[in-house]
């Protein structure tokens, strides 16, 4: 039985990011719970008027209710969301300390987005923000960027997630809450969006997040950019899958996604040819401003 290319790309990306050197047994991407294509309209993330109630963060859902799971935005508008995962595992930190890699922060990619005025959503792990506080402040300081939660140390929330180390069941809620606390001081356009490491989740994982009032975001375009052997496969993966309303998964982790910055200009050109406008995730799910 053949393994779908999308699953292979995701599997390779996660295993080679420092979680395990062993070959994984492909596991199904978990999508239990309420899976929807487009979230209800998100609130405007701009600051509340003086004296008015604080603005509700994009992605906020009702605490205590199973979080919605988003695959993509509305298909009836020519918009897509570029999302960039900022992974950081204990193994990646160890490689940095040993000098085996130079950086897991792609500043060239960040500069390219800034110079071109491209909106983007960054799913940041708590450990990445702590490792790169200046870069995180730079992201937070750009009004075209928004920040989302990608767990604290990129560990698995299910037992069969590409050999990622496991978050204990009784620690799942705190792992995500700890990340929100780590990200909050950076300010900027904070959201209540959350992406599971490896996109692996089941009902128990969703139940653990229910008290936090989040929206879970998977994505329908997996770029496979970690450890791609050149920019062309990344470009082809994105442009062959993208549709109106797509949520595109890329990475800002330089050492294990070496060609994302080289691929980005061609990806942006391909989106333009298709008449697709990059917007933040919150704007995509709210239908734009």
Q: How is 93-117 classified by DSSP, letter by letter?
A: HHHHHHTS-S-S--HHHHHHHHHHT
Tell me what pLDDT residue 32 has: 38
Q: Which pLDDT value is given to residue 150?
A: 98
Helix crossing, 260-273 with 231-241: angle to 10°? Answer: 30
Residue 162 has what pLDDT?
A: 85
* Burial (CB count within 10 angstroms: exposed 0-12, middle 13-18, buried 19+), residue 28: exposed
For residue 56, the model assigns a pLDDT of 86
Nearest one of 67, 69, 70 to 210, comparing CA atoms: 67
> CA-to-CA distance for 158 and 200, rounded, in angstroms?
6
Cα angle value 246/250/256 (rounded, 5°): 165
Burial of 251 (0-12, 13-18, 19+ CB in 10 A): buried
Angle (nearest 5°) at CA 238 between 40 and 74: 20
CA distances from 50 to 42, 54, 161 (A): 21, 9, 46
Rounded distance, CA 242 to CA 258, Å? 22
Closest CA relative to residue 284, chosen from 119, 74, 7:
74
180 and 226 Cβ atoms separated by less than 8 Å? no
Q: What is the pLDDT of residue 37?
A: 40
What was the pLDDT predicted at 218?
Answer: 98
pTM of structure? 0.84
Q: Per residue of the chain (289 residues), what is the pLDDT tens digit? A: 444 444 444 444 444 344 333 333 233 334 433 444 443 333 343 333 345 556 789 999 999 999 999 999 999 999 999 999 999 999 999 999 999 999 999 999 999 999 999 999 999 999 999 999 999 999 999 999 999 999 999 999 999 898 899 999 999 999 999 999 999 999 999 999 999 999 999 999 999 999 999 999 999 999 999 989 999 999 999 999 999 999 999 999 999 999 999 999 999 999 999 999 999 999 999 964 3
Instruction: Report how far residue 93's alpha carbon sits from residue 154's, in angstroms, rounded to the nearest whole number.
Output: 12
Measured distance CA(9)–CA(161) in Å, rounded? 14
Please, what is the end-to-end C-alpha distance for the chain in angstroms? 45
Predicted pLDDT at 53 = 52
Give the pLDDT score at 287. Answer: 63
Give the model's pLDDT for residue 49. 38
- Confidence at residue 17, expressed as pLDDT on a 0 to 100 scale: 44
């Amino acid at each position: 039985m053949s393994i779908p290319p999308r699953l292979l790309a995701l599997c390779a990306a996660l295993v080679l990011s420092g979680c395990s050197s062993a070959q994984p047994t492909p596991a199904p991407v978990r999508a239990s719970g309420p899976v929807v294509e487009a979230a209800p309209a998100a609130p405007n993330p701009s600051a509340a008027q003086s004296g008015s109630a604080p603005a509700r963060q994009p992605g906020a859902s009702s605490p205590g209710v199973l979080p919605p799971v988003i695959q993509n935005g509305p298909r009836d508008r020519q918009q897509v969301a570029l999302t960039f995962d900022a992974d950081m595992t204990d193994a990646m930190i160890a490689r940095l300390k040993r000098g085996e890699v130079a950086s897991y922060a792609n500043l060239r990619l960040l500069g390219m987005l800034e110079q071109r005025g491209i909106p983007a959503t960054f799913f940041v792990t708590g450990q990445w923000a702590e490792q790169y506080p200046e870069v995180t402040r730079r992201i937070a300081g750009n009004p075209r960027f928004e920040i989302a939660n990608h767990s604290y140390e990129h560990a698995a929330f299910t037992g069969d997630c590409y050999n990622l180390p496991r978050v204990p069941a009784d620690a799942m809620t705190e792992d995500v809450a700890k990340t929100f606390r780590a990200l909050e001081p950076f300010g900027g356009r904070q959201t209540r969006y959350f992406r599971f490491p490896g996109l692996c989740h089941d009902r128990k994982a969703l139940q653990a997040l229910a008290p936090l009032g989040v929206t879970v975001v998977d994505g329908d375009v997996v770029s496979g950019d970690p450890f791609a052997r050149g920019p062309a496969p990344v470009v082809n993966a994105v442009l062959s899958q993208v549709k109106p309303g797509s949520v595109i998964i890329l990475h800002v982790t330089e050492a294990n996604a070496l060609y994302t910055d080289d691929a980005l200009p061609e990806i942006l050109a391909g989106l333009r040819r298709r008449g697709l406008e990059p917007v933040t995730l919150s704007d995509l799910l709210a239908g734009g401003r």
